[in-house]
Amino acid sequence: MIVTTPSTFASALAELPPLRNARTTARAAFLVAPASDELATESARDNRYMEMAAGFDTQRALAQHAALARALREDVPVITFPGDPETPDAMFPNNVFGTVPGRLIVARMRHPVRQREATRADIRAFFRDVVGYSEIDLSDGAHGIAELTGSLVIDHARGIGYCGLSERCDMDGARAMHEAFGLRLTFCFELAEGEYHTNVVMASLAGRAVILAPDGFADPAVPRAIARAFDDRAAWLSPEQKRAYAGNAITLSPNRVWMSARAAASLAAEQREALASWDFRIGAVELDEIEKAGGSLRCCVAEVF
């Protein structure tokens, strides 16, 4: 079922039966290394978080990216694919590639510079020939714009998707992702003007809690409804914390939330205490060079279920 209002979401959620034995976090993750000396100018048209005036140090970004891979290996196996200078945004693969058990999902991206990422034969071949996954290919554009787990935040514990509509995802794309990910319920809503991806304004933490930046939603009732779905175990972000990427977080194990060092430093004591009370410790990695490209830690991580 796909719903589009807080009231219909609340009603559908109340009728949703429990999902037994659901895996709440990924079995593994894959990354794509930075490779370009420049940021993607096409992406900057609708990604206000990009720092186009700042110089981009590829070697520093590579070092931070390698440190990220080493850190995440504490929770799951991590594979890093080489980057391509022709696809500067490829270090954010979760927008282009997603998985459910047995299937690789390939996105339809908005911008041509990112559409090229979906053509990578090596990543497709790895999942097809090595892992043995079948493929759901949305990249031909027949299913709308669907930037996967950039636009869609998934609560795997209950099979619920939270899909923010923007230039990077339309309703046709939302429907295609709902089916491709095998979701039981998807709540679609408009992001606030100027927001491009849902995973910058919210994060589901192993299905037990949520991080929310209320100013990232067009309708203030939407984040309130999402918080209620998590029994009000919500860490609410200020606009400044959102800009520091505190919403661009991920849980790769049931008891740790990963975010960038900048994001972690922005958290107030009461937010840290709330996360601890929900049995989450914080893992942080310095990613300030990568963040110049308009994404942070969550964007760098493609999950393997």
pLDDT digits (tens, 9 = 90+) for 185-206: 999 999 999 999 999 999 999 9
Domain count, the chain: 1
Name the one residue in this structure whose structure tokens are 């299937």. 103
Residue type (1 letter), 151: S
Say which CATH number the domain at 99 has: 3.75.10.10
Task: Quote the domain boundaries for residue 215.
Answer: 2-304
Q: Where do runs of H (alpha helix) occur along 57-210?
A: 58-72, 112-115, 121-125, 148-151, 171-180
Structure tokens at 86: 């022709």
Q: What is the tens place of the pLDDT at every residue in 105-144?
A: 999 999 999 999 999 999 999 999 999 999 999 999 899 9
CA atoms of 36 and 57, how far apart (whole Å):
9
Q: Say what percent of the chain tops pLDDT 70.
A: 100
Q: Is pLDDT of 38 > 90?
A: no
Look at residues 157, 177, 185 and name the one whose alpha carbon lies nearest to residue 15: 185
Q: Where are the alpha helices (DSSP H) in the chain?
A: 6-15, 58-72, 112-115, 121-125, 148-151, 171-180, 221-229, 239-243, 261-266, 269-277, 288-291, 297-300
Q: Rounded CA gap, 264 and 199, in Å?
A: 16
* Band of pLDDT at residue 207, cut at 50, 70 and 90: very high
**Residue 302 pairs with which residues in a beta bridge?**
30
This prediction has a pTM of 0.96
Average pLDDT over residues 208-236: 98
Q: Read off the pLDDT band of 37 (50, 70, 90).
A: confident
What is the per-residue pLDDT for 102?
97
DSSP 43: G
**Mean pLDDT along residues 159-172:** 97
**Residue 256 confidence (pLDDT) above 90:** yes
